[in-house]
């Protein structure tokens, strides 16, 4: 297993290796004595980027929950409780990894994964987003494989996620990667 000292920001490539900030997917990154080619890499947010991302992703999550049937108040309370628990004071709680997804040195999206609950082997994809101009190019699949490798490197034995029913593209991707439904919420408008 590769690791960095605590004074370095962690980066991971799609093959699960940890290294310094990769500049390009065509450039070799180093993990110990192993050189790898990066397709998709992860780079933890610096504090200003993290704060901007938290605000933006929080609003997007609230909108998704409203589309799924929550009231604005319910969605806001849920989002605030999650952020308060997993980013107390705006800093990630132990084990939470949030940062940029990179390809060819360009930011192509964001990823947030970390432990789910008190079991350190049960991890969760809290948020994954590929920017619109990079979609339908395989980056989502590579990012999910990267998330799996990162979770394994951190002791996870399972990786779960939530996907809203109206997101057919994501549901198909996760299913094709072997994710199985573990619960389904259903709703019917009455009247």
Instruction: Name the residue ranges covered by the structural domains of the chain.
Output: 11-176
Give the side-chain half-sphere CA count within 13 A for 64.
15
Give just the sign of the alpha carbon dihedral 157, 119, 85, 46. Answer: negative
Asked whether 120 and 155 are in contact (CB, 8 A), the reply is: yes
Residues 6 or more apart whose Cβ sits within 8 Å of residue 73 = none
Give just the sign of the alpha carbon dihedral 56, 42, 3, 126. Answer: positive
For β-strands 34-37 and 18-19, DSSP reports them as: unpaired
Q: Look up residue 63 and give its two tokens.
A: 């909108």
pLDDT per residue of the chain (191 residues) written in tens, 0 to 9? 233 223 334 445 444 444 433 333 333 343 332 222 348 999 999 999 999 999 999 999 999 999 989 999 999 999 999 999 999 999 999 999 999 999 999 999 999 999 999 999 999 999 999 999 999 999 999 999 999 999 999 999 999 999 988 889 999 999 999 999 888 888 788 98
Enter the CATH code of domain 11-176. Answer: 3.40.630.30
Q: How far apart are CA 24 and CA 28, in angstroms?
A: 8
Q: How far apart are CA 179 and CA 156, in angstroms?
A: 15
pTM, two decimal places: 0.78
């Amino acid at each position: 297993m590769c690791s960095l000292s605590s004074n370095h920001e962690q980066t991971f490539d799609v093959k699960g290796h940890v290294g310094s900030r990769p500049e390009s997917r065509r450039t070799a990154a180093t993990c110990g004595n192993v050189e790898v080619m990066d397709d998709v890499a992860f780079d933890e947010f610096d504090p200003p980027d993290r704060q901007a991302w938290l605000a933006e992703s929080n609003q997007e999550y609230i909108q998704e929950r409203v589309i799924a049937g929550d009231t604005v108040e319910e969605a806001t309370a849920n989002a605030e409780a999650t952020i308060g628990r997993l980013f107390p004071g705006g800093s990630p709680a132990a084990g939470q990894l949030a940062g940029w997804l990179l390809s060819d040195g360009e930011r192509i999206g964001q990823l947030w994964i970390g432990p789910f609950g008190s079991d350190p082997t049960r991890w969760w994809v809290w948020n994954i987003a590929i920017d619109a101009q990079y979609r339908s190019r395989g980056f989502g699949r590579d990012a999910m494989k990267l998330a799996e490798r990162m979770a394994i490197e951190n002791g996870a034995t399972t990786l779960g996620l939530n996907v809203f029913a109206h997101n057919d593209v994501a549901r198909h991707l996760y299913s094709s990667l072997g994710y199985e439904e573990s619960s389904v919420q259903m709703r019917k408008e009455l009247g």
